[in-house]
Structure 1
Amino acid sequence: MTELWAHSVNNAGHRHALSDHLRDTAVLAGDFAEVFGARGLAAYLGLVHDVGKGGCAWQEGLLKAEATSGRVVDAQGRSIDHKAAGTWLAARKAKLGFFSMAVLGHHGGLPDTQDLKRCLASAEVDAQEQVQEAIARIAVLVPEISSGPMPDLPAWVKSAKDPHAVELLLRMVFSALVDADYLDTARHFTGEPRPVPASLATMVEAFEQAREDFLTEARASPLPVDGIRAEVYDQAVKAASQPRGIFPFPAPTGAGKTIAAGGFAAHHAAEHGLRRVIIAVPYMSITEQNAKIYRTLFGDANVLEHHSSVDLHRLPATKKWQRLAAENWDAPVVVTTTVQLFQSLFSRRSTAMRKIHRLAGSVIVLDEVQSLPDAMLLPILSALRHLTEYFGTSVLLASATQPAFFDLEIFRGLKAREVIAQPQPLYERLRRVRYIWKCDPKPTFKQIAAEAAGESQVLLIVNTTADAATLHEELAAAWKHDGPVLHLSTRMAGAHRREVLETVRDRLDRDLPVAVVSTQLVEAGVDLDFPVVYRAMAPAEALQQAAGRSNRNGRLAEGRVIVFDPADGSVRGTQLVYGAALNTSRAYIGPEGKDPDDLTALRTYYQARYAVKNVEGSGAGKQIQDRRADLDFPIVAKQFKMIDEQSVPVLVRYGDDKERDGLRNRLRGSERVEAWVFRRLQPYLATLPTRLAQHAVAEGRATELLGDLYEWIDPYHPHRGIEFTYPKPEDYTR
């Protein structure tokens, strides 16, 4: 044969030449990896990744598959391996050692070292003839796979003392490889050229003009805190001229961190020639809110909003064609969730990891960074450190309740590049609330509802969905004002939550009565401004974040935050949500201690909390680091969980029935489900813990729809959404 093929015919009737695919993938992978000094390494992996397709059996299988619209299989119907030849070349010919795992895993996911050993042993014994046949046939068309200079590893690898830095390099070159492979394959089938995103270097002036326009509109009704917000912005922009690194950004709630963080990122990227801004926030509610702001400031066409959707990797092998390909974040500005960011970073799947090479040479803004789970801090902070040390990344840690990360050993020796020179005076100037403690004796929800019913505008935040439902019922019964008693939790559809928030903001703006009972989803970053906030007892950072929803814009002489310890609250659920953090907080923050906005007390609290939990010396984080050092990617992916109890999306009967049902029918009636279907489903999705959803299916109240997407069959409550608890209420989390 004078030509070998990588892929079957496209719509124009042309097959994809294997030599073209290997060389084009190599160029793309090298381009992606150049920013972190690994062009040669990634390019070579791209050059050899599909060498196994050169074998006679695979080529014959491709032609048969093309004729039958089936898969590439041998005469017995078994899949034909095409990864061993490239893996062998990378490991033995190029002497790249465990970096050859990227080739072995470019379809199935990153393996472990035992998988690599078994593959190489097979390539040199049982499958030697097939492997060498494929290599020989490809070498005629692409001689550089085995002749010519072999790639060098980045210079720092040989001197790196921390194995986790090298493990991260393998993740990054794997990401560059699989993204390049996917894009070149897609280009063959669609004919669409790779888009060229706008450059951040040209966006600073446009950002500043958009900000000025945004503020000009806001100045029509000036706020008392506007001057302080301007100072915070100016300090953030000034800090952007510092060298790349990790930037703690402590500023009180309501200080304008969202816009200031965007300004820092835009100016810092322009100063250092960085490629993109990646903004990660902890909750869907503020992901959507912040994305709207950043589209205004950076330009709608420059902002990609990407958060978790339906996970189709649980589908059986016969339905793999229905997988939803992950976005690869090829945009100047990406707004996502911290779950999406870090679950992708520590995944092993090629679809999830396509995007992570984009972290190199970028600005990562971690908003509400106090929300990172303690159990995962060690691998997360390790990765952030190495991204800044070896991959040209800068990280902004934004929070009103700045965690004491630089007191941990994992950050030992790192220089904290300050954004706010003197934060405590800023907190004092922006103090807008008085804390009132109702912890001894403990009030009941009925008592709290009776008291709160006397306020015309009031927000009540509790720790579990079960508590929210109970308190909502009590307050609705006690409410005497001419206005709604609303509810917010993840048991409600996304569109339902947005409509509630719009109603709340409208009534607050017009000074009309309104009450809201919510779980924690409103306390971090959501732009609400109540005169009075009730908050069930929680760790210090949660209390201060909740206080940020009271007198947020400084219109009152003083807002009130009533912290109560409910006598009939869900003790087990609260413990599952907060763990030891709550007990540690009681020792430093409260009626006998300091207020949550005392930064010295807050730092002492974090130090004690990390010590009690031993976040660096034991637990899941330490186990993950040990497995990372061993390059055991499957175990790392299994153990790394941003959320203790994994949750699943649930399609509910809310909103536009015609659109929702049409989308649902596409899921069940089509052989291929396009990505836009899942994006359009978002407004109709609520959330349940996985185990609870499975229990609902067993009771006939829900059904499995597709992958990990469920559908709720029972009635949807007009205020509270899905109403369903575990058989044992103490097992309920949030």
Structure 2
Amino acid sequence: MDSQRINGGKSNLLANGVVDPVRAPIPVPEGRLVAHSPGHQGTWHWYEGHARGTGELARRFAEPWGGGDLAYRLGRDHDTGKGACAWQEGLIEEATTGRKTKRPPHSDAGALLFARTAERCPALLPCAGVIAGHHTGLSAWSEVRLRLKALMADSSEVDEAIHRVAAVMPAILDGSCPPAPDWLDPRDKIAVEMLVRMTYSAVVDADRLDTAAHFRPGTHRRPHPGMPELWERYEARRQESLAERQRSKGASWLDKLREDVYQEALEAAAGQPGVYRLHLPTGAGKTFTGGGFALRHASVHGLRRVIVAVPFISITEQNAAEYRSLLDSPEQGPPVVLEHHSAVNVEAPQQHAPQSTGAPTNTHHDGKRGWSNRWAKLATENWDAPFIVTTTVRLIETIFGNTPSATRRLHRLANSVIILDEVQALPDRLLTPILSGLRELVEHYGVTLVLSSATQPELAALNPWRSGLPQRDVVSDPAPLFEQLRRVRYAWRTGPDVTLASIAAEAAEHDQALVVVNATKDANQVHRIWLGSNHDENPGVLHLSTRMTGGHRRETIQAAKQRLEENLYTLLVSTSLIEAGVNLDFPRGYHARSTPESEQQAAGRVNREGKRPAKDSVMTIFDPRDGLNPEVVYNTCAIAAASRRFGDGLADPDDLDVLRSYYQHRYNLQAGRHSKDPNGATGEVIEALRAKLHYPEVARRMRLIDNEHSVAVVAIRSQLGEEARQAAQKAVDQLRRGLPTPATYRTLQDHMASIPQRELELAINAGHVIEVAGDLQQWVGPYHPQRGIEPPVAQQ
């Protein structure tokens, strides 16, 4: 290399891409290799330090599943391609002149190095994909294998890099193959698939953390408290809260019932790790009981963290606040509870980028994709906290994604308790791969899984869990609890005269009523009917849907709660987002025909506190001839199975025995005969793709929120104060510049809404949305103060 180019620079390219003209980098001695630009002290990130640092950190991450040596080898050798002269000279020129240079891809050399050693242990050969995709994501193994085959035949383009790195780190040529975990069966392709994922996660996170430590030294946090301490803190504060509640409101029979349930859960927490079912009716204290079980179980068995995944952001926010009050203690250390959810994928390619140039997208240059850059990725949350509250979307993305940002947190699941709250909300179309993946985590990665719901699905009826995976009950006999906590009676309204207008009119005859419908369009229509022809705002007539921002929804829920407590006139129409985790107590409810679990969940918002006789608290299931057909929203097999069992003259949605029969029938209508049967409708095709190690296609098909139907938008409401609007706009601008931080995402959560994909083009043409980053749009069109972003038909 040219020493003049190495040492003659007058400036330094900083981590944020800004050139510092004052401090020049220290010279690179002959025979040394660099991995990253100098940090703020002007010191290079030397190659050997980064390689060993990444390897050791990856080893520590992978040791819980017996993959420490494998992860070390992959982490140590992941950047071998940076040894090439062209790569070294390009980085040094950038750092010394501030001018961007095009450096060659650097993943092939390390991938080939590992593939050569893995020839004698073929089960580990696909782990070469960890290095091949450590910046760009896990590729299909068939593609990686073809590339490796070509390199095996002619390695001239990577030999230089390997030899130069070997000169400073001779160990890379020792030729030994690291051992596989002793539980790995090479014939089990699903086990191999998950091992690659977990190892990839460990290496990617180690790489990002070691790089971040170079650019931001001295930012080490105080260590988190251990699980025994957190369990004691949780229990002490729970008892304090209960005592305070009883002092202010007096003890009740419900408090005693909840305490009995809680104590039984603590006894169950001493059981062995595995799969547990937490089957409790609404009002039995499921949130606190689940948290207590998880922390106690983690304390007893030495597990590392608790992860609570819920289907709706509204529940995430509520649960996180409750857990924070019991666990966070600023005076005793860093925050314990990490709330991580976002409705946007900021790494997605821009959907409406110009297509006329025909230039190919470069996905190799240091992993850059469109707007994003490596500094943004270093700010991605990696779940390094003892108690995580997230969405089911984020959890499934973590397990089945293939991008570095999604999968870098996967290894944090090992030796953890995962609570799947409202487990009945898992989509049938993905159940086979979800259950298969969870089984891998339980059997090989030390996970205890808690299935929490008032409407427990019969998951053991599906192939991945049919044999060899026992399920224990946290509460041994929940049936009496459902009888004790029965707080509603069901009524049924069907026939040609039943319409949204007739139900809206009937509900308006009551001082307080809840109406749940199947579509945002239907919710909009009912709300308009209630307001009348003048469409004036009425504080007692409320609307709730995903077309409203998270902050707007929370304000609406709080307004409804306050009006109900003050016994004021309150009508609320909502989509299904109200069905779980929303603490409202209406005397009367209506629900458009759907599935029994959805209807039962919504019934939990009627007579929630049990202050009224059950016979006077009615949940009416209605079938409006002008409402959205439930088959459009819900699984058609679920509707078919439900129609044979629930309805007028049949069972009520809370009949446990009939619910079990319903779930078994529902799954039997869909499931293939075995996990690879392409005729199955519960994700068998995806499971076959997993066996082929086709990571990108699996990630695409495993999206819980299908962006073909829903688009995330950020909407900054005019009703907000000036300070809040400025903070939201600043966060949007940070995303546009590609420089977000975790705080950026947290700020935007209050301003996220969604619209159907089919409306996006109309909104673009009307000038109502502008792109921000990835698949995130900013809504700049009309925003109704009560209904949010309205359907186009309603605006005409």
Q: Does 1:116 align with 2:144?
A: yes
The residue type equivalent to 1:213 in the other structure is E
2:259 to 204, 211, 230: 230
Q: Does 1:651 align with 2:707?
A: no
**What secondary structure is seen at the aligned counterpart in 2 of 1:562?**
strand
Q: 1:569: which partner in 2?
A: 627
Deviations 1:42-66 (A, max 9, x none): 1110011011111212111111122
Q: 2:696: which partner in 1?
A: 634
Distance 1:401 1:134 in 2: 58
**What secondary structure is seen at the aligned counterpart in 2 of 1:417?**
strand
Distance 1:245 1:728 in 2: 52
Q: Does 1:356 align with 2:410?
A: yes
Structure 2, gaps ≥5 residues long: 1-29, 330-334, 351-368
**What secondary structure is seen at the aligned counterpart in 2 of 1:363?**
strand
- Given the superposition, is the C-alpha separation of residues 224 and 508 from structure 1 closer, same or farther in structure 2, using an over 3 Å criterion? farther
Q: Does 1:531 align with 2:587?
A: yes
CA contact (8 A) 2:310 2:421 kept: yes
Q: 2:655: which partner in 1?
A: 598
**What secondary structure is seen at the aligned counterpart in 2 of 1:664?**
helix
Distance 1:341 1:441 in 2: 43
2:338 to 304, 317, 327: 304
Distance 1:514 1:688 in 2: 27
Q: Does 1:500 align with 2:556?
A: yes
Distance 2:111 2:309 in 1: 35
Q: 2:439: which partner in 1?
A: 385
The residue type equivalent to 2:740 in the other structure is E
Q: Does 1:91 align with 2:110?
A: no
Distance 2:393 2:479 in 1: 30
What is the Cα deviation at residue 681 of structure 1? Answer: 2.1
- Given the superposition, is the C-alpha separation of residues 297 and 521 from structure 1 closer, same or farther in structure 2, using an over 3 Å criterion? same
Distance 2:100 2:400 in 1: 30
Q: TM-score, normalised by structure 1?
A: 0.94
What is the Cα deviation at residue 315 of structure 1? Answer: 4.5
What is the Cα deviation at residue 457 of structure 1? Answer: 1.6
- Given the superposition, is the C-alpha separation of residues 209 and 561 from structure 1 closer, same or farther in structure 2, using an over 3 Å criterion? same
2:205 to 166, 179, 190: 179
The residue type equivalent to 1:639 in the other structure is R
1:320 to 351, 362, 372: 372
Deviations 1:447-480 (A, max 9, x none): 2122111211211111100110111122233999
Matches within 5 A, 1:266-305: 266-299=295-328, 301-305=335-339
Q: 1:147: which partner in 2?
A: 174
Distance 2:550 2:536 in 1: 29
Deviations 1:548-585 (A, max 9, x none): 111112111222211111121122x7523443312321
Distance 1:678 1:726 in 2: 32
CA contact (8 A) 2:371 2:774 kept: no
Deviations 1:266-286 (A, max 9, x none): 000001100000000000111
Distance 1:702 1:588 in 2: 45
CA contact (8 A) 1:466 1:725 kept: no
2:426 to 344, 347, 372: 372
**What secondary structure is seen at the aligned counterpart in 2 of 1:503?**
helix
What is the Cα deviation at residue 105 of structure 1? Answer: 0.7
1:212 to 239, 243, 256: 239
Distance 1:273 1:18 in 2: 36
Q: 2:57: which partner in 1?
A: 28
Q: 1:162: which partner in 2?
A: 188
What is the Cα deviation at residue 727 of structure 1? Answer: 11
Distance 2:549 2:336 in 1: 28
What is the Cα deviation at residue 587 of structure 1? Answer: 0.9
The residue type equivalent to 2:701 in the other structure is Q
Q: 2:685: which partner in 1?
A: 623
What is the Cα deviation at residue 202 of structure 1? Answer: 1.7
Structure 1, gaps ≥5 residues long: 74-78, 730-734
1:660 to 709, 725, 734: 725
Q: 1:692: which partner in 2?
A: 759
Distance 2:702 2:42 in 1: 44
2:78 to 49, 53, 72: 49
Q: 1:103: which partner in 2?
A: 131
Q: 2:645: which partner in 1?
A: 588
Q: 2:528: which partner in 1?
A: 473
Q: Does 1:191 align with 2:217?
A: yes
CA contact (8 A) 1:464 1:574 kept: no
Distance 1:668 1:363 in 2: 37
Identity of aligned residues (%): 42
1:674 to 712, 735, 740: 740
- Tell which deviates more after alignment, 146-155 or 605-614: 146-155
**What secondary structure is seen at the aligned counterpart in 2 of 1:614?**
coil
- Given the superposition, is the C-alpha separation of residues 613 and 699 from structure 1 closer, same or farther in structure 2, using an over 3 Å criterion? farther
- Given the superposition, is the C-alpha separation of residues 84 and 71 from structure 1 closer, same or farther in structure 2, using an over 3 Å criterion? farther
CA contact (8 A) 1:328 1:354 kept: yes
What is the Cα deviation at residue 661 of structure 1? Answer: 4.4
Q: 1:732: which partner in 2?
A: none
CA contact (8 A) 1:449 1:474 kept: yes
Distance 1:131 1:472 in 2: 65
Q: 2:32: which partner in 1?
A: 3
Q: TM-score, normalised by structure 2?
A: 0.87
Matches within 5 A, 1:539-550: 539-550=595-606
- Given the superposition, is the C-alpha separation of residues 401 and 278 from structure 1 closer, same or farther in structure 2, using an over 3 Å criterion? same
Distance 2:52 2:560 in 1: 56
Matches within 5 A, 1:484-523: 484-523=540-579
What is the Cα deviation at residue 149 of structure 1? Answer: 5.0
**What secondary structure is seen at the aligned counterpart in 1 of 2:472?**
coil
Q: 1:76: which partner in 2?
A: none
- Given the superposition, is the C-alpha separation of residues 363 and 646 from structure 1 closer, same or farther in structure 2, using an over 3 Å criterion? farther
Q: 2:18: which partner in 1?
A: none
